[in-house]
Amino acid sequence: MKEREDNRFIKLVLSLHSSGWIALGKVANPLSGKVERDLDSAGSAIDMLEMLKEKTAGNLSEEESGFITGCLSALQMSYVEEVRADKSDASEKSSS
């Protein structure tokens, strides 16, 4: 039973992680086959992963904790890069 719960936790984290990558435009949307970027949705996926990490603190194995931390960190870093790129593009357009 514990192994099954562990697998469900990993699948949930992977689902949120995948949603984040799709929203960041890093992976094609499997429904449309297109690369679509939606930073609001990416932020929501990150927020949900952060909440899940906080709510499960102290109840995860070392492997699970490391897994969610790694997924969250990768999404956060990519999100920051995308926001910076948007700001850079906006400032280039306004100076043209």
**Residue 87 — pLDDT band, cuts 50, 70, 90?**
confident
Cβ-based burial of 20 (10 A; exposed 0-12, middle 13-18, buried ≥19): buried
Of the candidates 32, 30, 19, the residue with the CA atom closest to the CA atom of residue 79: 19
Examine the pLDDT at 35 and tell me if it is beyond 90. yes
Average pLDDT of the residues in 57-86: 94
- For the chain, give every domain's residue range: 2-95
Q: The whole model's pTM is what?
A: 0.86
Examine the pLDDT at 42 and tell me if it is beyond 80. yes
pLDDT in tens, 9-31: 999 999 999 999 999 999 999 99
Measuring CA to CA, how many Å separate 24 from each of 2, 58, 67, 83? 33, 30, 20, 10
